[in-house]
């Protein structure tokens, strides 16, 4: 429970450190409540590049804080728990990238999902998030695209951009991949009028049932704008709070798969750890070696140029 006293202390600590707290929709509800901005990966990356504050506290997983540091190297970037790491961020090997470059030469673009380490970004040509991947891949001059690390987002992008030859890597998000088609079908049978809104990190069998496929922010926006009174939501259940806030008074109902989709790494970002980080200034995120940082930053900058809207 967040007391008024604790909220006042957090406000004071933010002022003292000239800090702003950015939280992803997947972190626990109380952490989101203490944040200044809550958003999906793209919205947070764009904000991190433009906010004037001296300190950015990233309530999310490591690749998000690392991207913020790459985009604003002069700022102090803190994480409430430095061990919160996305397993998918590591699921690509250098040889995969080198093999594609050898095979296709100049006619391949290596596109990395933002859910990747700085090193993976440094091997790539452009970064994308789930909200701009289709648009950015479509706009690339190359016909061949190696999409890393997420095979499911890569497959979804390929289905939307058939004019490109999209080469898939074998990474995946364990949480979205575990959303089973059987559980989705059970929810659809129980709520036949519900619209199904899915994140593209889901596997193809679950995604085949989706009426709308989009990033977490797009899922929330689709539920808010939609005419259905019920929604089956296929993503991490941290989005529930924002869905309920944005649709308050509408009577809309939200149903998640029976096997609760929660991300153990995002769950590490508790309100207690956020407060401790603000009090003590712990969890500082550093820059990788300069050659890696420069190349990784270029992929993020390119995304912000191409993905800006």
Give contact residues for ligand SF4 (rule: CB under 6 A): 26, 61, 86-88, 115, 173-176, 201, 236, 263, 265-266
Instruction: Name the minimum Å distance from CB 233 to ligand 13P.
Output: 12
Instruction: Name the minimum Å distance from CB 130 to ligand 13P.
Output: 4
Residues 6+ apart with CB under 8 A from 274: 10, 21, 31, 34, 57, 59, 80
29 touches, from ligand 13P, ligand SF4, none (C-beta below 5 to 8 Å by class): none
Instruction: Name the minimum Å distance from CB 74 to ligand SF4.
Output: 26
User: CA 147: distance to chain centroid?
Assistant: 16
Instruction: Name the minimum Å distance from CB 131 to ligand 13P.
Output: 6
Task: Show the tokens assigned to 230.
Answer: 């019920």
132 touches, from ligand SF4, ligand 13P, none (C-beta below 5 to 8 Å by class): none
265 touches, from ligand SF4, ligand 13P, none (C-beta below 5 to 8 Å by class): ligand SF4
215 touches, from ligand 13P, ligand SF4, none (C-beta below 5 to 8 Å by class): ligand 13P
124 touches, from ligand SF4, ligand 13P, none (C-beta below 5 to 8 Å by class): none
Which CB, 9 or 36, lies closer to ligand 13P?
A: 36
Instruction: Name the minimum Å distance from CB 18 to ligand SF4.
Output: 28
**Number of other CB atoms surrounding residue 144 within 10 Å:** 18
HSE-CB at 183 with a 13 A cutoff on CA atoms is 18
- The H or E element containing residue 240 is helix 240-246
Q: List residues near ligand 13P by CB under 6 A.
A: 40-42, 86, 115, 129-131, 173, 199, 201, 215-216
What is the rounded CA–CA span in Å between residue 179 and residue 260?
Answer: 9
Is 168:204 a contact under the CB 8 Å cutoff?
no
Residues 6+ apart with CB under 8 A from 256: 232, 233, 237, 240
């Amino acid at each position: 429970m967040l007391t008024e006293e604790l909220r006042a202390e957090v406000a004071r600590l933010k002022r003292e450190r000239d800090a702003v707290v950015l939280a992803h929709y997947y972190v626990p509800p109380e952490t989101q409540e203490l944040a200044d901005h809550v958003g999906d990966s793209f919205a947070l990356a764009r904000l991190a590049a433009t906010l004037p504050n001296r300190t950015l506290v990233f309530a999310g997983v490591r690749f998000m804080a690392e991207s913020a540091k790459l985009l604003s190297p002069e700022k102090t970037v803190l994480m409430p728990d430095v061990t919160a790491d996305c397993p998918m961020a590591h699921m690509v090997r250098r040889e995969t990238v080198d093999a594609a470059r050898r095979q296709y030469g100049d006619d391949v673009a290596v596109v990395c999902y933002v859910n990747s380490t700085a090193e993976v970004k440094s091997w790539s040509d452009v970064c994308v998030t789930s909200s701009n991947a289709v648009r950015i891949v479509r706009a690339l001059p190359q016909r061949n695209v190696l999409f890393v690390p997420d095979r499911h987002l890569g497959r979804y992008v390929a289905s939307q951009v058939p004019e490109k030859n999209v080469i898939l890597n074998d990474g995946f998000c364990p949480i979205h991949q575990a959303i089973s088609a059987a559980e989705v079908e059970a929810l659809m049978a129980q709520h036949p009028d519900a619209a199904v809104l899915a994140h593209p990190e889901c596997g193809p069998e679950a995604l085949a049932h989706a009426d709308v496929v989009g990033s977490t922010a797009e899922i929330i926006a689709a539920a808010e704008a939609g005419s259905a009174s019920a929604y089956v939501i296929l993503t991490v259940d941290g989005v529930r709070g924002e869905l309920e806030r944005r649709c308050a008074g509408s009577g809309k109902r939200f149903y998640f798969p029976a096997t609760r989709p929660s991300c153990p790494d995002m769950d590490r970002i508790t309100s207690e750890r956020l407060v401790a980080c603000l009090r003590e200034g712990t969890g500082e995120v550093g820059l990788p070696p300069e050659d890696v940082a420069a190349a990784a930053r270029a992929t993020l900058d390119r995304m912000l140029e191409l993905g800006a809207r």
